[in-house]
Structure 1
Amino acid sequence: MNPSFLLKFFFLPHIVFFFGFLGASEPQLTLDYYASTCPTVFDIVRKEMECSVLSNPHNAASILRLHFHDCFIQGCDGSILLDDTITLKAEKKATANIHSLKGFGIIDQIKNFVESECPGIVSCADILTIAARDAVILVGGPYWDVPVGRKDSVTASFELTNTNLPTSDESLVSIIPKFLYQGLSVTDMVTLVGSHTIGMARCQNFRSRIYGDYESTSAKNPISDNQFSNLKTICPPIGGGDSNITAMDYVTPNLFDNSFYQLLLKGEGVLNSDQEMYSSVFGIETRELVKKYAADPLAFFQQFSDSMVKMGNITNSDSFINGEVRKNCRYVNT
């Protein structure tokens, strides 16, 4: 049977479920939400992100990942920013997040400046969304307009982090439904994963890849062999090293570009989940998109802008009714 047919058949129930979930009309975000109440918010966020990325280029990837992990758990509502309390179990402490998320202090600092300028007006969810856009621009990526008007959630979901978030060792047929559930297409998925062009991975998340099929998929040339040796040095098969890190794009690790996709063509994806987009037998559509973006950086940039807006517009309807503008991004207002 044609793998393409199998893939479409497999995903059909997830698509039906998602559209059933969207039955109610969602609150609309707008570009001018703060035009009269806090017109300087975009300038404040940009200035603070410039300082942050200048001091450490890796901060760009940290903020982008933080935004992604926020949106995939009950919508882009700032729930990822909440700390543990007696009555709330923080998402950031879940297995999928505890070792992979950084940048909370950056958002805290931006929030402090925004509060001093416009107290009680701008949500932490909006600050994180704007900061993610600026992070991408500051390392060479594309611009997009950020619709705003989100409210901060007064809840978090520790449990959903272990079911909604894609993991590094998942297969393609397991990951795609997680994007479809969020209203994101296969094209959105392949495009958004391109953010790994500036991302770092922990040994724990790529050990199975480099001691699995990495050598058989990668190109046989001195550069590829040298990279393979480096990865094995960073991440030993046994005996620790779980927290050792490597760039997922070793060619231009601090530049947002399309070289990540070019590495996938060579079989040099660091994570199993990334390489599957090109190498999986079920990757009929994903393989063509990887080829397209590897050859055409403009096409990647244009779609990345569109897909980031789409992801940023995943809303938490409850937060628009029961949500708030937090004074401190780490805690619900008292």
Structure 2
Amino acid sequence: MASFRTWHCLLASCCLFLLHASAAHGQLSPSFYATTCPMLGLIVRATMIKALLAERRMGASLVRLFFHDCFVQGCDGSILLDDVGSFVGEKGAGPNVNSVRGFEVIDQIKANVELICPGVVSCADIVALAARDGTFLLGGPSWAVPLGRRDSTTASLTLANSDLPSPASGLATLISWFANKGLSATDMTALSGAYSIGFAQCKNYRSHIYNDININKQFANTLRSNCSPTPGATDTNLAPLDTTTQLTFDNAYFGNLVKKKGLLHSDQELFNGGSQDALVQQYSTNPTLFASDFVTAMIKMGNISPLTGTAGQIRANSGKVN
């Protein structure tokens, strides 16, 4: 009997341990690769520095890449998958085609990581780390990125066309869109501050500068010189999302909104007599508050439906399933 009780207790203890381990494994943690790939952070940072030295704008592009990944199927690296044979990825979706960029930087980081830690680190986690470093290297805050995501073996062109907010969206639509992903209105406004860096194409701000009234007239007139009123040759011409400090991550974007100098209709909707006006004003004068809320929102966004445990896979190549 004593022997049976001993084995019974040992079995129960093992079951409890496995249940605990399984639960822990299903959660993201900044230390996920501490023993399996301890050089990961240094590899990502070094590759990102090289990428930004070649093109400073790339930091903004990789923050946007992370956003577009997480809003479609969750933060699973699905946006990286190429169209191969009958497989259709998300790169050709309306919000992504000829717009989302930085795939070659993720490919390079992945290749560098594979040299040191083959088959260990997911592409989804690399995208999350690149977004953090893109922010930090352009003057923004840094944070401990929760890790442990795995890569999707699927993609959804349909969701990429339906789940990504439009630059023509109104405030109520934007709030609803973010709420559907578990993000609050505060998260939405803070995340919009990523537009402190980067550029937008004329086709995405044309309607705002020609048709809207919630815009500084002189600002609109200046932009019209580079963006014709009708679709055509100027569609891909770029304008900075933050005219004040276009390649530095700071809170100037919110000051621009207060002055009615938001480039996109969706930008200016954050300061247009609605529920986010007070927060925009706070962010415009309190960079510490903005940085804190931005970090909180980035971590929350990075927790949108990640694949963990045995779900998905660790892709050997960013652009295709193993």
- TM-score w.r.t. the length of structure 1 is 0.86
Out of 230, 236, 257, the position equivalent to 2:228 is 236
The answer to whether the Cα contact below 8 Å between 2:209 and 2:215 also exists between their aligned partners in 1 is no
What residue is the counterpart of 1:328 in the other structure?
317
Change over 3 Å in CA distance of 1:197–1:154 after alignment to 2: same
The answer to whether the Cα contact below 8 Å between 2:125 and 2:147 also exists between their aligned partners in 1 is yes
Q: Any unmatched runs of 5+ in structure 1?
A: 1-23
**CA distance in structure 1 between the aligned counterparts of 2:260 and 2:208, rounded to whole angstroms:** 11
What residue is the counterpart of 1:12 in the other structure?
none
**CA distance in structure 1 between the aligned counterparts of 2:146 and 2:83, rounded to whole angstroms:** 29
The answer to whether the Cα contact below 8 Å between 1:26 and 1:315 also exists between their aligned partners in 2 is no
What residue is the counterpart of 2:34 in the other structure?
35
**CA distance in structure 1 between the aligned counterparts of 2:193 and 2:246, rounded to whole angstroms:** 12
**CA distance in structure 2 between the aligned counterparts of 1:264 and 1:287, rounded to whole angstroms:** 9
* Identity score, percent: 46
Change over 3 Å in CA distance of 1:36–1:25 after alignment to 2: closer
**1:217 partner amino acid:** I
Higher helix share: 1
Equivalent position SS for 2:246: coil
Residue 31 of structure 1: how far off its partner (Å) = 1.4
**1:204 partner amino acid:** K
**CA distance in structure 2 between the aligned counterparts of 1:327 and 1:293, rounded to whole angstroms:** 41
The answer to whether structure 1 residue 159 and structure 2 residue 158 are counterparts is yes
Residue 140 of structure 1: how far off its partner (Å) = 0.2
What residue is the counterpart of 1:253 in the other structure?
246
Q: Which runs of 4+ in 1 moved over 3 A?
A: 319-322
Residue 234 of structure 1: how far off its partner (Å) = 1.0
What residue is the counterpart of 1:126 in the other structure?
125
Residue 239 of structure 1: how far off its partner (Å) = 5.4
Change over 3 Å in CA distance of 1:193–1:213 after alignment to 2: same
The answer to whether structure 1 residue 314 and structure 2 residue 304 are counterparts is yes
Residues 210-225 of structure 1: pairs in structure 2 closer than 5 A: 210-213=209-212, 217-218=215-216, 225=218
**2:256 partner amino acid:** L
**CA distance in structure 1 between the aligned counterparts of 2:170 and 2:243, rounded to whole angstroms:** 23
Give RMSD over aligned pairs. Answer: 1.7
Equivalent position SS for 1:184: coil
Equivalent position SS for 2:130: helix
Residue 56 of structure 1: how far off its partner (Å) = 0.9
Residue 321 of structure 1: how far off its partner (Å) = 3.9
User: More displaced, 58-67 or 173-182?
Assistant: 173-182
The answer to whether structure 1 residue 301 and structure 2 residue 291 are counterparts is yes
What residue is the counterpart of 1:105 in the other structure?
104
Q: Which structure has the bigger radius of gyration?
A: 2
The answer to whether the Cα contact below 8 Å between 2:210 and 2:220 also exists between their aligned partners in 1 is no
Q: Any unmatched runs of 5+ in structure 2?
A: 1-22
The answer to whether the Cα contact below 8 Å between 2:106 and 2:126 also exists between their aligned partners in 1 is yes
